[in-house]
Amino acid sequence: MTEDVIRLLTPEGEFRAHPDYPIEVSPDLLRQLYRDIILTRRTDIESTALQRTGELGLWCPVLGQEGVQIGAAHAMRPSDYGFTTYRELGIFHVRGVDPVELLHLYRGTSHASWDPRRVGLGIFTIVIGSHALHSVGYAMGIQRDGADEAVLSCFGDGATSTGDVHEAMVFAAAFNAPVVFLVQNNQWAISVPVTRQTRAPLATRAAGYGIPSVRIDGNDVLAALGVTRVLLDRAREGGGPAFIEAVTYRRGPHTTSDDPTRYRDEAELDHWASLDPLDRLRRHMERVGALDPAFVAEVDAEADALGERLREAIRGMADPDPLGMFDHVYAEPHRQVTADRAAMADYLATVEGS
Amino acid sequence: MTEDVIRLLTPEGEFRAHPDYPIEVSPDLLRQLYRDIILTRRTDIESTALQRTGELGLWCPVLGQEGVQIGAAHAMRPSDYGFTTYRELGIFHVRGVDPVELLHLYRGTSHASWDPRRVGLGIFTIVIGSHALHSVGYAMGIQRDGADEAVLSCFGDGATSTGDVHEAMVFAAAFNAPVVFLVQNNQWAISVPVTRQTRAPLATRAAGYGIPSVRIDGNDVLAALGVTRVLLDRAREGGGPAFIEAVTYRRGPHTTSDDPTRYRDEAELDHWASLDPLDRLRRHMERVGALDPAFVAEVDAEADALGERLREAIRGMADPDPLGMFDHVYAEPHRQVTADRAAMADYLATVEGS
Amino acid sequence: MTSMTPTTSMTMVQALNAGLRRAMEGDPKVLLMGEDIGPLGGVFRVTDGLQKDFGEDRVIDSPLAESGIVGTAVGLAMRGYRPVLEIQFDGFVYPAFDQIVTMVAKHHYRSGGITPMPMVIRIPYGGGIGAVEHHSESPEAYFAHTPGLRVLTPADAAEAYVTIQQAIASDDPVIYFEPKRRYWDRAEVDEVSPISGNPWSSRVLRRGSDVTLVAYGPMVRTCLEAADAAAEDGVECSVIDLRSLSPLDLDPVVADVQGTGRCIVVHEAPVMLGMGAEVAAEVTRRCFFHLEAPVERVGGAYIPYPPNRFEQHYLPDVDRVLDAIDRVTAV
Amino acid sequence: MTSMTPTTSMTMVQALNAGLRRAMEGDPKVLLMGEDIGPLGGVFRVTDGLQKDFGEDRVIDSPLAESGIVGTAVGLAMRGYRPVLEIQFDGFVYPAFDQIVTMVAKHHYRSGGITPMPMVIRIPYGGGIGAVEHHSESPEAYFAHTPGLRVLTPADAAEAYVTIQQAIASDDPVIYFEPKRRYWDRAEVDEVSPISGNPWSSRVLRRGSDVTLVAYGPMVRTCLEAADAAAEDGVECSVIDLRSLSPLDLDPVVADVQGTGRCIVVHEAPVMLGMGAEVAAEVTRRCFFHLEAPVERVGGAYIPYPPNRFEQHYLPDVDRVLDAIDRVTAV
Ligand SMILES: Cc1ncc(C[n+]2csc(CCOP(=O)(O)OP(=O)(O)O)c2C)c(N)n1
Ligand SMILES: Cc1ncc(C[n+]2csc(CCOP(=O)(O)OP(=O)(O)O)c2C)c(N)n1
Ligand SMILES: [Mg+2]
Ligand SMILES: [Mg+2]
């Protein structure tokens, strides 16, 4: 399943250059990637814990998919734009989303996960597949602006079955839009295996639209970085859309509400745990001597601080002002909203008064 | 554009056997196909004329596409089932739809074009692409019945952009449904050229779902017959879905309301007129001596009779009983419909009474 | 209920599961399709164990595509099957809206009565469970405004057990809205008696002389509780469960309002063009000279379903209903 | 209209074309997208000549995919563009329903006010032109029931010229319903004066003391004609054009009904849960002690739009409105 993929880092941590996807692997880069994985993983763990204690309503674990996410996010320029699903903590992290900001959504105080203008990342939607079209439209806007930018559009294997992802590919090809689609094939859409979505590798879908595609090892952070960078560059230069299938695995439950024991084997999990993207990176860093104990300790301390900050920010966070729910339904005043808000204000006043 | 296609009959009318698509070309078969094209073309012409004189509200000419339609329809067994668009007169004809029945729809007296149980053909929908899913569902039913049947699912090049056609391919592949998709790539979706829907040949779409595909010369009635038959047989035997792109051309307007001079060149038309499917068949029949004058005259007479029958049946056809519009909204009684019908009956009685 | 028929205490989830099972046992043409309804048993476990017992051909885990689920079901129905579909959450029915509105709703009509479209589309709906966006919506008015569909919503487990089977038995397509916040409420379910009764009618659950409360689905329990509370204040309320939103049976409401002269309709969906608008318009037309006060509508504000920390304020509750009772009795 | 401003006689198609042109001239961020809107100029020629003058980057012939059209427009709007989309016919908006309801309507809200969604979705709607299936529907209630959208519908060419520009100028998404049977009606259009007025309000077109007729889009002309006919019989009607279905401005209706005591709402869409339900419910609430008769609703039956040889009976016409006037004045 992972044999026919582009891979720059073997499971044993050996680097193998690929002529089409050149990448300069400096110790600084390695340390950056290492740090990003560690911090992403810490937020993931803390968020699961916060959900368990009732502070969050839900959490979508990312364990196992950090490699592709962090690699791909580093392939983006600050001026590029991204669209993702809920399960892309690695990308959120690299783009500079504050996890506290993100957790507002899972806390239930806000639908908005961050300010897209600051991080160059559209707020995500839970409606599967639908943002693939937004990506293409945004890329068509870039084209019309003549800007030197491109879009990274991420979705899951399940999403590839939706009509919207198809129409996104059709539009991207028709208008030669500067967008790179990145499918994280994590083998499952909740309880449904990827074999129910397709019997050919997902990467082969692209050719039918005249879009080039690449299948990569999604647990190899360097492959994700190298391949995505080449394809984003190509898109920026007018080369048009491209498609990446990253073969990876969701090792946690679909969400904290899920019970994966109902549908999958422990053995599968063990196999993929042995391909862990962090372990692989660590092995490589050890090989090249880029992982000194001081650095490791520093990152661990940073992760501890992050965890503590998260817990403090979320625990017992106050509920919002009820009337806040009427804000921003429209950009301009709307009679029905105004009236409903006034009625609610009156009602709340009565209730308080009584 | 038509060079890389499967073709059994050259434009000059020469037959060239293909090892994968064996076909026995008897004089009887040729005469049958000839007759079908002539009669289809006559209904097409008569219907356009009936629209021009106001007897029909609309008509969708089929000129140029009769080859693929009649060939494919002959590949079906009576027990097979088909789903089509509005522009498939050749298929309607071969399956035994009475054109008078069909014209009810364009006359505006009925939405239903025929009794699907009799002709093994779902009534068509104008909502582009949506019936591709019905085809797959029907085929899943065949599978569950363990029946020796298959489905032919026809749509246009424009339809391939819709989410529903994509989801139909996904489901067909996932369930290995006995369905053959047949795209009539007639180069245009109203005023939009096929290059706006795709930059790769449409036939290449199929591989991404793990579905085999064939690109055929859509103006070659024998290729349509031979290829469709092999793929329907394969589907019936459990081989799963297949996909055919028939490269052809709509030589008339999109509908009688359309003005194609706004968007396409005369030269294109001339080119495709030179590839006319009837001319090609005729040339072949002349070569093999299967086109004697008596037969030609007999078919012409049959066509004349058909034309006259159509004109007589349609011209001045009475409007339906107004209360008929309340019939069949539901299979079982429904309070709101009953009430609205009663109110309308009362109202009509008042109006008549006054 | 006073008879000797043995009953079982069940949650609504269990009742639906039992009802589906019985329908599948009774008719081999009934099959289920949806996302995650197989080994997982659905995210709410409504189909728990059914794939194990009826096989993968009758309990079908679909690809992730709602238009695909409904569209292929149209084909299955044309072939003589009776598909029962699960849409995972209310907010994910929209990709299937085209198939539902243009095909499911219209096909019997457009075929001139030749091709029935027996299909049930189950949709867990409504708020109150602290869910994330798109998991708490009440889109029932879209469907009830669409001729050709039937729309049914059970208020409790006993109702769910019976009406899911009646929906499946209907030759018409039924949008079956399951009030997810009531999924875990228990009721006594009679699994023994033959299924009977007309699901396409309203149910009078309580009679009172002062105010008529009209609700359906999740708000029925809320209204029953409000009626209890009002009774303590000396205001006697009728409570009527519409149950079927299409057809809409207002006869019992009209009869009751002719006595009480006061009517309140309660639902979670936005008031603007919600079911309450139809009830108010039609009850007013039929009770014009009996009404002491205008029909009052209690429901969602004209805003998208808010983040869940707002939902206690967004959703109608007992206090909001009592407030409306105060208003109509003050006129 | 009595001023010296020069006006031009235009059909509604021409007025829309002129309005689009002016909006595109005024703001380079405005762009058009849809099926067949380029060289063909749209099946109704509303965009005739615009691609020639503004180029293929601003007048975009899309692939055949409605969800794709609306979904990519969402991305364009996020990027700062103001897309104006054409859905070819009412019956083909449903494949885009998910994008409209879950994204277009909610995005400004869900982004916490950061990302506006200025977008106009033009939809030729309604019947009366003898069209085939799916070409005559009136789906406006679906959209007006959806918080986050604005819904506008012009009744004549002069209105169309102005309000299409106002819709484009709005930072909110607008579903713009064009009454296709009025496409070829002419009116005097003022292309000179600056665009002014509040489109999100109802217009009183005629004042009469006996009955208030409320309509929008295609039925405005029908009501004006009915009012003329009624006047000959001595019944004086007001005629109010709602114009905006969301927001819905019932103030002028309420004020008028407080005088007339009688109100009739007319639309093509099914009466059940149609705009008339909301108008009836709300006008009754606000005019409870002024109404002499219940608010009457004249509209489509609870059936799919029938084959066009039935449409003269299906569609409300002057006689049906007069019949309703008889009914309300008889009370
Ligand atoms: C349109 C839609 N249908 C159903 C769902 C419910 N749902 C949430 S996540 C999910 C599976 C998604 O799988 P995939 O695309 O592979 O992403 P992953 O969760 O594996 O990252 C489903 C079915 C949804 N959110 N949206
Ligand atoms: C969902 C939908 N959108 C738009 C239309 C309007 N329309 C009717 S036919 C057509 C073009 C169809 O092109 P194609 O699929 O190539 O079939 P052809 O007409 O060429 O046979 C369009 C856009 C429609 N019928 N349905
Ligand atoms: Mg997945
Ligand atoms: Mg075509």
Give residue C1's pLDDT.
Answer: 46
What are the C-alpha distances in Å from B340 to residues B327, B346, D270? Answer: 12, 10, 10
What is the SS3 assignment for A56?
Answer: coil
Question: Which residues form the pocket of ligand 1, taking CB atoms under 6 Å from any ligand atom?
Answer: A 85, 87, 126-128, 155-159, 186, 188-190, 250, 254; C 35, 64, 66, 88, 92, 95
Check if B106 is active-site: no
Query: Of all helices (H) and strands (E), which one includes residue D239?
Result: strand D237-241
Contact B9, B34 (CB under 8 A): no
In this structure, the answer to whether residues A134 and A267 fall within a common structural domain is yes
Q: In the numeric block, which tokens belong to residue B269?
A: 């038309």
Residues with CB under 5 A from ligand 4 (ion): B 156-157, 186, 189
What are the C-alpha distances in Å from D273 to residues A283, A336, C141? Answer: 65, 18, 7
Mean pLDDT of B66-93: 98
Query: What are A191-239's pLDDT values in tens digits?
Result: 999 999 999 999 999 999 999 999 999 999 999 999 999 999 999 999 9
Q: In the numeric block, which tokens belong to residue A105?
A: 């959504």
Name the residue among B257, B265, B108 with its Cα closest to residue B190: B257
| Contact list, A328 vs chain D (CB under 8 Å) | 108-109, 111-113
Q: Phi, psi at residue C8, to the nearest 5°?
A: -125, 140
In this structure, the answer to whether residues A154 and A261 fall within a common structural domain is yes
**Beta carbons within 8 Å of D279's beta carbon, 6+ residues apart:** D214, D242, D248, D250, D253, D263, D265, D295
Which DSSP letter does residue D91 get?
A: G
CATH class of D8-189: alpha beta
Low-confidence stretches of chain D (pLDDT < 50) are 1
CA–CA min distance D129, chain B (Å):
9
**Beta carbons within 8 Å of B190's beta carbon, 6+ residues apart:** B158, B254, B258, D35, D36, D40, D43
Mean pLDDT of C77-99: 98
Name the residue among B51, B28, B12, B60 with its Cα closest to residue B184: B60
Task: In whole angstroms, give the CA distance from residue A243 to residue A205.
Answer: 9
Give residue B1's pLDDT.
Answer: 41
pTM score: 0.98
pLDDT of A1 above 50: no
Residue appearing with tokens 């086109």: B291
Asked if A106's CB is within 8 angstroms of C301's CB, the reply is no
Residue appearing with tokens 């149209």: C74
Give residue A352's pLDDT.
Answer: 78
Q: In the numeric block, which tokens belong to residue A122?
A: 């559209």
Q: In the numeric block, which tokens belong to residue B166?
A: 């994509």
Q: Which numbered atom of ligand 2 lies nearest the CA of B128?
A: 26
In this structure, the answer to whether residues B273 and B244 fall within a common structural domain is yes
ipTM of the modeled complex: 0.98
**Check whether domain D203-330 has CATH 3.40.50.920, yes or no:** yes
Residues of chain A numbered 120-139 and touching chain D (CB < 8 Å): 122-123, 125, 127, 130, 132-139
CA–CA min distance B46, chain C (Å):
25
Contact C213, C321 (CB under 8 A): yes
Provide the number of structural domains found in chain A: 2
- Dist. CA A182 → ligand 3 center (Å): 12
Mean pLDDT of A304-313: 97
- Dist. CA B60 → ligand 2 center (Å): 11
- Dist. CA B193 → ligand 4 center (Å): 8
Contact B277, B64 (CB under 8 A): yes
Query: What are C174-209's pLDDT values in tens digits?
Result: 999 999 999 999 999 999 999 999 999 999 999 999
The domains of chain C are located at 8-189, 203-330
Q: Per this entry, what is the length of chain A?
A: 354
CATH number of the domain that A191 lies in?
3.40.50.970
Mean pLDDT of B65-77: 98
Catalytic residues of D: 135
pLDDT band, very low/low/confident/very high, at A179 (cuts 50, 70, 90) = very high
Tell whether B352 is covered by a domain.
Answer: yes
CA–CA min distance B320, chain A (Å):
39
Amino acid at B159: A
Which DSSP letter does residue D308 get?
A: G
Query: What are D174-199's pLDDT values in tens digits?
Result: 999 999 999 999 999 999 999 999 99
Task: In whole angstroms, give the CA distance from residue A188 to residue A234.
Answer: 30
Q: In the numeric block, which tokens belong to residue D248?
A: 């819905």
What are the C-alpha distances in Å from D50 to residues D27, D42, D43, D53? Answer: 14, 10, 14, 5
**Beta carbons within 8 Å of C257's beta carbon, 6+ residues apart:** C212, C263, C283, C287, C290, C291
Quote helix, strand, coil % in chain A, to nearest 5: 50, 10, 40
Which DSSP letter does residue D63 get?
A: P
Task: In whole angstroms, give the CA distance from residue A64 to residue A300.
Answer: 19
Q: In the numeric block, which tokens belong to residue A159?
A: 């999403």
Q: Which numbered atom of ligand 1 lies nearest the CA of A190?
A: 11
Query: What are C214-268's pLDDT values in tens digits?
Result: 999 999 999 999 999 999 999 999 999 999 999 999 999 999 999 999 999 999 9
CA angle B55, B58, B63 (to 5 degrees): 110
Query: Of all helices (H) and strands (E), which one includes residue D225?
Result: helix D218-232
Arithmetic mean of pLDDT over chain C? 97
The answer to whether D110 contacts chain C (CB < 8 Å) is yes
Annotate chain B with three-state secondary structure: CCCCCECCECCCCCECCCCCCCCCCCHHHHHHHHHHHHHHHHHHHHHHHHHHCCCCCCCCCCCCCHHHHHHHHHHCCCCCEEECCCCCHHHHHHHCCCHHHHHHHHHCCCCCCCCHHHHCECCCCCCCCHHHHHHHHHHHHHHHHCCCCCEEEEEECHHHHCHHHHHHHHHHHHHCCCEEEEEEECCEECCEEHHHCCCCCHHHHHHHHCCCEEEEECCCHHHHHHHHHHHHHHHHCCCCCEEEEEECCCCCCCCCCCCHHHCCCHHHHHHHHCCCHHHHHHHHHHHHCCCCHHHHHHHHHHHHHHHHHHHHHHCCCCCCCHHHHHCCCCCCCCHHHHHHHHHHHHHHHHHHHC
What are the C-alpha distances in Å from D37 to residues B151, B187, D87? Answer: 35, 18, 10
Please tell me which residue in A74, A95, A205, A250 is annotated as part of the active site.
Answer: A250
In this structure, the answer to whether residues B288 and B325 fall within a common structural domain is no
For residue C28, is it left (φ>0), alpha (ψ between -120 and 50) or beta? Answer: alpha
Give residue D1's pLDDT.
Answer: 46
Q: In the numeric block, which tokens belong to residue D100?
A: 């409209």
Q: In the numeric block, which tokens belong to residue C136?
A: 């708490």
Select the residue of C80, C99, C102 nearest B141 (Cβ to Cβ).
Answer: C80
Select the residue of B143, B328, B335 nearest C109 (Cβ to Cβ).
Answer: B328
What is the SS3 assignment for A154?
Answer: strand
pLDDT band, very low/low/confident/very high, at B2 (cuts 50, 70, 90) = very low
- CA nearest to B163 within chain D: D65
Name the residue among D235, D302, D317 with its Cα closest to residue D269: D302
What are the C-alpha distances in Å from D233 to residues D229, D236, D320, D322? Answer: 7, 9, 15, 10
Enumerate helices (H) and strands (E) in chain C, giving the number of each. Answer: 12, 14
Mean pLDDT of B41-49: 98
Q: Per this entry, what is the length of chain C?
A: 331
Contact C19, C166 (CB under 8 A): no
C306 preceded by cis ω (within 30°)?
no
Query: What are C285-314's pLDDT values in tens digits?
Result: 999 999 999 999 999 999 999 999 999 999
Task: Assess whether the region D8-189 and the region D203-330 belong to the same CATH fold.
Answer: yes
Query: What are C92-116's pLDDT values in tens digits?
Result: 999 999 999 999 999 999 999 999 9
Mean pLDDT of A117-143: 98
pLDDT of B208 above 70: yes
Residue C319 CB burial class (10 angstroms; 0-12, 13-18, ≥19): middle
Q: Per this entry, what is the length of chain D?
A: 331
**Beta carbons within 8 Å of A131's beta carbon, 6+ residues apart:** A83, A84, A85, A122, A124, A125, A153, A155
% chain C with pLDDT above 70: 99
Which residues constitute the domain of residue A334? 321-354
pLDDT band, very low/low/confident/very high, at A316 (cuts 50, 70, 90) = confident
The answer to whether B162 contacts chain C (CB < 8 Å) is no
pLDDT band, very low/low/confident/very high, at B291 (cuts 50, 70, 90) = very high
What is the SS3 assignment for A46?
Answer: helix
In this structure, the answer to whether residues B299 and B343 fall within a common structural domain is no
Contact B70, B267 (CB under 8 A): no
Question: Which residues form the pocket of ligand 2, taking CB atoms under 6 Å from any ligand atom?
Answer: B 85, 87, 126-128, 155-159, 186, 188-190, 250, 254; D 35, 64, 66, 88, 92, 95
Give residue B351's pLDDT.
Answer: 83
Asked if B197's CB is within 8 angstroms of A210's CB, the reply is no
Tell whether B14 is covered by a domain.
Answer: no
- CA nearest to B341 within chain D: D301
Q: Which numbered atom of ligand 1 lies nearest the CA of A197?
A: 16
pLDDT of B353 above 80: no
% chain D with pLDDT above 90: 98
Q: Name all chains with 3 or more CB-CB pairs below 8 Å to chain D.
A: A, B, C
The answer to whether C97 contacts chain D (CB < 8 Å) is yes
CA–CA min distance B92, chain A (Å):
29
Give residue B3's pLDDT.
Answer: 60
Query: What are B131-170's pLDDT values in tens digits?
Result: 999 999 999 999 999 999 999 999 999 999 999 999 999 9
In this structure, the answer to whether residues A150 and A241 fall within a common structural domain is yes
In this structure, the answer to whether residues A231 and A326 fall within a common structural domain is no
Residues of chain A numbered 71-90 and touching chain B (CB < 8 Å): none
Tell whether B313 is covered by a domain.
Answer: yes
Mean pLDDT of A174-196: 98
Q: In the numeric block, which tokens belong to residue C168?
A: 């499946």
In this structure, the answer to whether residues B306 and B294 fall within a common structural domain is yes
Contact B8, B15 (CB under 8 A): yes
Asked if C71's CB is within 8 angstroms of B134's CB, the reply is yes
Give residue A40's pLDDT.
Answer: 98
Q: Per this entry, what is the length of chain B?
A: 354
Residue appearing with tokens 């599967």: A128
Mean pLDDT of B166-175: 98
Side-chain-side CA neighbours of C66 within 13 Å: the count stands at 26
Query: What are C112-138's pLDDT values in tens digits?
Result: 999 999 999 999 999 999 999 999 999
